[in-house]
Amino acid sequence: MSNETYKNTALIQASLKKRYAREKRFQWMGRFAVFLGFLFLFILLFDIVGKGLPAFTQQYLLIDLDLSADALDVAPDADAEALSRANYAGVIKSSLRDMFPEVKSRSDKRMLYRLVSVGAEYELRDRVMADPALVGTRQSLWLLAHSEAASYLKGQVDPNSPEAERRVKDAQITWLDQLHADERTKSGFNTQFFTAGDSREPELAGIRVALYGSFLTLAVTFLLAFPIGVCAAVYLEEFAPTNRLTDLIEININNLAAVPSIVFGLLGLAVFINFFEFPRSAPLVGGIVLALMTLPTIIITSRAAIQSVSPSIREAALGVGASKLQAVFHHVLPVAMPGILTGSIIGMAQALGETAPLLMIGMVAFIMDAPAGVTDPATVLPVQVFLWADSPERGFTEKTSAAIMVLMGFLIMMNALAIYLRKRFELK
Amino acid sequence: MQTSTVILVLFALCCVSFAVGRFRSRAVGQQAGGIHLLHSLPHHYGYLSAMIAALPALLVLLVWMLLEGRFIEGRVIAGLPADVQALSESRLGLYYNQIIAYAAGGIDASTLSEPQLAAAEQYNALKSESGWLKLALVVVVAVTGSLLVLGRIKPDLRARNHVENIWTWMLFGCSFIAVLTTLGIVLSVLFEAVRFFRLIPATDFLFGLQWSPQIAIRADQVGASGSFGFIPLLVGTLLISFVAMLIAVPVGLMSAIYLSEYASKQFRAITKPILEILAGVPTVVYGFFAALTVAPFIRELGESLGLTVASESALAAGLVMGIMIIPFVMSLSDDIINAVPDSMREASLGLGATMNETIRKVLIPAALPGIVGGILLAVSRAIGETMIVVMAAGLSAKLTVNPLEAVTTITVQIVTLLVGDQEFDSPKTLAAFALGLVLFFVTLLLNVVALYVVRRYREQYE
């Protein structure tokens, strides 16, 4: 017997080393898995930030402009009407030709003109119209550079790479180097990115319209989903009898929470746009669809918040003669509100980042002007990201990343607010 | 007459109704010998009259708005010349849309024909007439409702009970929206899918091996009918989901095990929220990452190894989708592993097993049903995920299981078929709804099974 035990002990002793090694290996596998998660997150964020940061600066070129009435093709005493139709593009082009007199051939000239953004002429027009005294003078003005020229100035183009592989050609690089040597280039913070709408030209494109559309859409979503979600949660927690109907509602809520978002888009398309004939591309429909999508999240978190309110509060209210409705709305809900708000903010953050259902209801149009109301065509930030990401122009890649950074900024703020509320709620 | 104006008028009426109801109940109370003789507080009488004024009026407004467009369309079309009325339904729709666009000031008069201009005039007249009628009807209904209540205010009118009853019904209505949403989803996809199956036999759809929804304009062109076999899409979807699971399940599960069994409290408190950031990143961001960073990287990597990799390979989309799903798998498995009672853990450790042996031989087998349920939920998310595959997966439906080639998925096809100009009677657009139907039921099935398994598992240890 004792011999037997000894044998077993020896067996165990002999296997221990292997078992401990396996234990170590297993632990390292766990560490490696966590590390992989971190690594993926880091690569993702690093990639986006690295690509997006340059979009926040903009490049300008100092151009000597001949703003004589002749060059502008207007009468010397032109009124605002005539000034608005003056030939600003021509002025910019002839000024560029004057600065680089050696450029002769037609194709070279076209390349030269491509140094300056097509938006520069509108900028020039606005300046001249704001100050008509400029007509007849010579001015050196900072004009917005074309996105390709800008990408060279930002150092994103390797001048030693084969010419066919890059959009900025050798001649343009020579001119840009010359301008740079003359201190005729500068970079500044890209305010246009926050004040402009979508554009075909990367250097002119901005996110204001998309932000505005996102705001309107989220407003509709919140106004619908928050009251309906809270009321539904109140009903299910406080009033619902236990019967088949209540079960049906609960099963539905749980299932809706896991329905793919694109299916909600199909619902919006078939029901709201085709059947009820709501306007396409409008924040109203987008908001309704996102509200239906976020409702389960809000209901589930609100129910949890209501459930966690101590029964003594309810009982005290009922005890002094409040009706059930009064007890809930005057006493239980205010206590549960931080929890409900936390859930709602998380739901809103989901809605803010959602793209697929909005594609279905046509919010993919090219929109330059901010929507005036909830029934006007609009686009939202994630859809703008999608549209820009599809665009072949290189300049849009950095715009896309920058728009993603703004979107993620909003999401982080919303989640931070939710966490703050939850922390405060927990302290009580 | 704008709907918003009507709603404002209605709101004003309700306020008046509330004030009058409250005032009147006080007067009635005083008359009866003191305000304390009233059954409810004065403002309950006010609320009651406001509610009875508002609710039926809102209902009327809603019904009117739903029927208005159709009614006006019918009247305007009836007034059009006979040869226009004889046009096919879609042509007539186009014709009518031009009228509306002109009436709304959207397009120039020069593009329209004479009868269209006349019709636009009639449209505008009908529209304004309808607006005024709507306002009148709403006001009449609201005032009638309000007067009905006001006339009945007596000390023994149980205003508070009535108000609370109405409230309870409204609360019920709010939660019933969940059922209506499901119903709406099922009906909308089913209705269009049935129209699709009338054009394309269901067997062709379910068992066909060819997917090319482009339909030629002329009947004698090659491939004139388009083919709608959904097997390549299904295989593509499953392939990408499989790649995603290959990333998400080991990483997510191992992280969950490490964090719940090995890691210190502080480490866990910092790590978990950071990893959960991955779940909060919008899918369009993952799509961008997959298309512009991961896909080119994988292609170059493959080329340096001598492999041909498509620029929109299933591997890239699946990999990124896997990253997205990691936190999902992690928190589900975390919940489930934590639900295994400590007594089982302690018994195993007490017998001298190492932690690793405890986890592999006790915890995982005990938690297996829950983990499987969680993985099923994750698969359902992967199948329904849209933006990553729209941006990073291919468009052409190829029947292959090679992850280095480009495949397309159900969701990609839904998006490509429905985004852009669409006509609502071609099989092309209807096919998207048939795909939606399949997607809805597949994910529903996965969810129901998964939730059932997880719940059964939880009950086992409670």
Q: Is the pLDDT of residue A120 over 90?
A: no
Q: Which helix (H) or strand (E) element contains residue B261?
A: none
Summarised one tens digit per residue, pLDDT across range A224-251 is 999 999 999 999 999 999 999 999 999 8
> Mean pLDDT in chain A?
87
- Separation CA A359–CA A375 (nearest Å): 16
Q: Is the pLDDT of residue B220 over 60?
A: no
Nearest to B177 among A228, A236, A411 (CB): A228
C-alpha B205: how far from its chain's center? Answer: 24
- Separation CA A311–CA A320 (nearest Å): 14
pLDDT at A274: 82
Contact flag A324-B164 (C-beta cutoff 8 Å): yes
Shared-domain flag, residues B231 and B148: no
- Whether B284 is in a domain gets the answer yes
- Cβ(A395)–Cβ(A319) under 8 Å? no
Furthest C-alpha separation in chain A: 120
- Whether B240 is in a domain gets the answer yes
pLDDT at A89: 83
Indicate if the alpha-carbon torsion angle B330, B334, B337, B339 is positive or negative.
Answer: negative
> CA-nearest residue of chain A to B188?
A270
- A355: its two tokens: 């793209």
> CA-nearest residue of chain B to A260?
B384
Looking at the structure of chain B, the number of domains it has is 2
Rounded to the nearest 5°, which phi and psi values hold at A145?
Answer: -80, 155
Mean pLDDT of A199-226: 92
> CA-nearest residue of chain A to B257?
A30
Q: Which of A218, A236, A267 to mutate to test the interface with B (most CBs of B within 10 A)?
A: A267
CA-wise closest residue to A407 among A49, A59, A151? A49
Chain A segment 200-229 residues within 8 A of B by beta carbon are: 227-229
- Looking up tokens 């009033």 gives A239
pLDDT at A180: 85
Contact flag A38-B385 (C-beta cutoff 8 Å): no
**Which of these three, B134, B157, B180, is where a domain ends?**
B157
Burial of residue A311 (number of CB atoms within 10 Å: 0-12, 13-18, 19+): exposed
Task: Give A-chain residues touching B391 at CB under 8 angstroms.
Answer: 386, 389-390
Nearest to A400 among B177, B288, B352 (CB): B288
- Whether B220 is in a domain gets the answer no
Chain A segment 313-372 residues within 8 A of B by beta carbon are: 323-325, 349, 352-356, 359-360, 362, 364
Share of chain B above pLDDT 70, in %: 95
Task: Give B-chain residues touching A36 at CB under 8 angstroms.
Answer: 251
CA-wise closest residue to B275 among B319, B318, B320, B325? B325
Domain extent at residue B333:
227-460
Choose between A12 and B390: higher pLDDT. B390
A248-251 CB contacts, 8 Å cutoff, 24+ apart: A248/B179, A249/B175, A249/B176, A249/B178, A249/B179
- Separation CA B46–CA B41 (nearest Å): 9
CA distance A44 to chain B (A): 7
- Cβ(B57)–Cβ(B148) under 8 Å? no
CA distance B201 to chain A (A): 22
Summarised one tens digit per residue, pLDDT across range A152-175 is 888 888 888 887 777 788 888 888
Contact flag A266-B390 (C-beta cutoff 8 Å): no
CA distance B175 to chain A (A): 4
- Separation CA A116–CA A138 (nearest Å): 18
Number of C-beta neighbours around residue A390 at 10 A: 14
CA-wise closest residue to A61 among A11, A113, A126? A113
Task: Give A-chain residues touching B263 at CB under 8 angstroms.
Answer: 34
- Cβ(B116)–Cβ(B98) under 8 Å? yes
- A155: its two tokens: 């150092």
Contact flag A295-B271 (C-beta cutoff 8 Å): no
Q: Is the pLDDT of residue A112 over 70?
A: yes
Which residues have C-beta within 8 Å of that of residue A212, sequence separation ≥ 6? A370, A371, A378
CA dihedral A375, A379, A380, A384 (to 10 degrees): 180
ipTM (interface pTM): 0.90
Q: Which of A35, A41, A207, A422 to mutate to test the interface with B (most CBs of B within 10 A)?
A: A41
pLDDT at B422: 60
Task: Give A-chain residues touching B191 at CB under 8 angstroms.
Answer: 270
- Whether B9 is in a domain gets the answer yes
- Whether B195 is in a domain gets the answer no
Contact flag B168-A235 (C-beta cutoff 8 Å): yes
- Whether B108 is in a domain gets the answer yes
CA-wise closest residue to A359 among A388, A389, A379? A379
- B383: its two tokens: 């199948």
Contact flag A266-B188 (C-beta cutoff 8 Å): yes
pLDDT at A140: 83
Q: Does A390 touch chain B (CB under 8 A)?
A: yes
> CA-nearest residue of chain A to B260?
A30
Burial of residue A95 (number of CB atoms within 10 Å: 0-12, 13-18, 19+): buried
What does the radius of gyration of chain A's CA atoms come to, in whole angstroms? Answer: 31
Q: Is the pLDDT of residue A130 over 70?
A: yes
- B388: its two tokens: 């990553």
Q: Which helix (H) or strand (E) element contains residue A66?
A: strand A57-66
Shared-domain flag, residues B137 and B234: no
- B407: its two tokens: 């495949």
Question: A27-56: buried (b, 16+ CB within 10 Å) or exposed (e) per residue?
Answer: beebeebbebbeebbeebbebbeebbebbe
pLDDT bucket at B19, cuts 50 / 70 / 90: very high
Shared-domain flag, residues B252 and B376: yes
Contact flag A274-B444 (C-beta cutoff 8 Å): no
Mean pLDDT of B281-291: 94
pLDDT at B459: 74
CA-wise closest residue to A143 among A167, A168, A126, A166? A126
pLDDT bucket at A265, cuts 50 / 70 / 90: very high
Choose between A127 and B236: higher pLDDT. B236
- Separation CA A87–CA A90 (nearest Å): 5
C-alpha B124: how far from its chain's center? Answer: 35
Q: Is the pLDDT of residue B184 over 70?
A: yes
Question: A399-427: buried (b, 16+ CB within 10 Å) or exposed (e) per residue?
Answer: bbbbbbbbbbebbeebbeebeebbeebee
Choose between B86 and A269: higher pLDDT. A269
pLDDT at A267: 93
The one-letter amino acid code at A110 reads: R
- Cβ(A299)–Cβ(A227) under 8 Å? no
Length of chain A: 428
Q: B105 — alpha (psi -120 to 50), left (phi > 0) or beta?
A: left
Shared-domain flag, residues B349 and B247: yes
- Separation CA B36–CA B156 (nearest Å): 11
pLDDT at B386: 92
Length of chain B: 462
Nearest to B291 among A37, A258, A389 (CB): A389
> CA-nearest residue of chain B to A34?
B255
pLDDT at B329: 94
Contact flag B188-A40 (C-beta cutoff 8 Å): no
pLDDT bucket at B420, cuts 50 / 70 / 90: low
C-alpha B421: how far from its chain's center? Answer: 21
- B340: its two tokens: 């295994």
Summarised one tens digit per residue, pLDDT across range B250-264 is 999 999 999 999 999
- Whether B188 is in a domain gets the answer no
pLDDT at B425: 65
CATH number reported for the structural domain that contains residue B454 in this entry: 1.10.3720.10
The one-letter amino acid code at A272 reads: F
Chain A segment 240-269 residues within 8 A of B by beta carbon are: 240, 248-249, 252-256, 258-264, 266-267, 269
Nearest to B181 among A236, A256, A269 (CB): A256
CA-wise closest residue to A375 among A289, A284, A291? A284
- Separation CA B267–CA B254 (nearest Å): 15
**Span between the terminal Cα atoms of chain A, in Å:** 63
Contact flag B172-A411 (C-beta cutoff 8 Å): no
Burial of residue A392 (number of CB atoms within 10 Å: 0-12, 13-18, 19+): exposed
Shared-domain flag, residues B241 and B105: no
Mean pLDDT of A110-116: 84
Of A136-150, B299-313, B434-448, the one with minimum mean pLDDT is A136-150
pLDDT at B424: 60
Nearest to A239 among B168, B380, B387 (CB): B168
- B434: its two tokens: 């048939």
Contact flag B172-A235 (C-beta cutoff 8 Å): yes
C-alpha A199: how far from its chain's center? Answer: 16
Mean pLDDT of A284-307: 94
Please state the CATH superfamily assignment of the domain spanning residues A208-427 in this structure.
MetI-like (1.10.3720.10)
The one-letter amino acid code at B431 reads: A
- A239: its two tokens: 């009033």
CA distance B109 to chain A (A): 22
CA distance B203 to chain A (A): 23
Summarised one tens digit per residue, pLDDT across range A75-104 is 777 777 777 788 888 888 888 888 888 888
- Separation CA A59–CA B358 (nearest Å): 62
Summarised one tens digit per residue, pLDDT across range B303-355 is 999 888 888 889 999 999 999 999 999 998 988 888 889 999 999 999 989 99
pLDDT at B318: 95
Mean pLDDT of A167-188: 84
Contact flag A30-B254 (C-beta cutoff 8 Å): yes
**Residue range(s) in chain A whose domain bears CATH number 1.10.3720.10:** 208-427
> Mean pLDDT in chain B?
87
- For the entire predicted model, the pTM comes to 0.89
- Separation CA B165–CA A406 (nearest Å): 47
pLDDT at B343: 92
Mean pLDDT of B200-211: 85
Q: Which residues pair with A64 in a beta bridge?
A: A140
Which residues have C-beta within 8 Å of that of residue B221, sequence separation ≥ 6? none
Nearest to B415 among A27, A296, A359 (CB): A359
- Whether B221 is in a domain gets the answer no
C-alpha A255: how far from its chain's center? Answer: 28
Q: Does A270 touch chain B (CB under 8 A)?
A: yes
Of A188-192, A334-338, B323-327, the one with minimum mean pLDDT is A188-192
CA-wise closest residue to A225 among A272, A300, A292? A292
Q: Is the pLDDT of residue B59 over 70?
A: yes
- Separation CA A309–CA A328 (nearest Å): 10
- Cβ(A214)–Cβ(A228) under 8 Å? no
Shared-domain flag, residues B118 and B256: no
CA distance A411 to chain B (A): 8
Contact flag B356-A264 (C-beta cutoff 8 Å): no
Task: Give A-chain residues touching B182 at CB under 8 angstroms.
Answer: 252, 255-256
Task: Give B-chain residues touching A281 at CB under 8 angstroms.
Answer: none
- A213: its two tokens: 């559309």
Summarised one tens digit per residue, pLDDT across range B160-177 is 899 999 999 999 999 999
- A17: its two tokens: 């080393």
**Which of these three, B139, B157, B175, is where a domain ends?**
B157
CA dihedral B92, B96, B97, B98 (to 10 degrees): 110
Task: Give A-chain residues touching B172 at CB under 8 angstroms.
Answer: 235, 239-240
User: Which residues of B186-339 form beta strands (DSSP E)?
Assistant: 211-212, 227-228
Q: Is the pLDDT of residue A151 over 70?
A: yes
Shared-domain flag, residues B333 and B423: yes
pLDDT at A286: 94
Q: Which residues pair with A61 in a beta bridge?
A: A143, A185
pLDDT at B462: 64
3 state SS of B407: coil
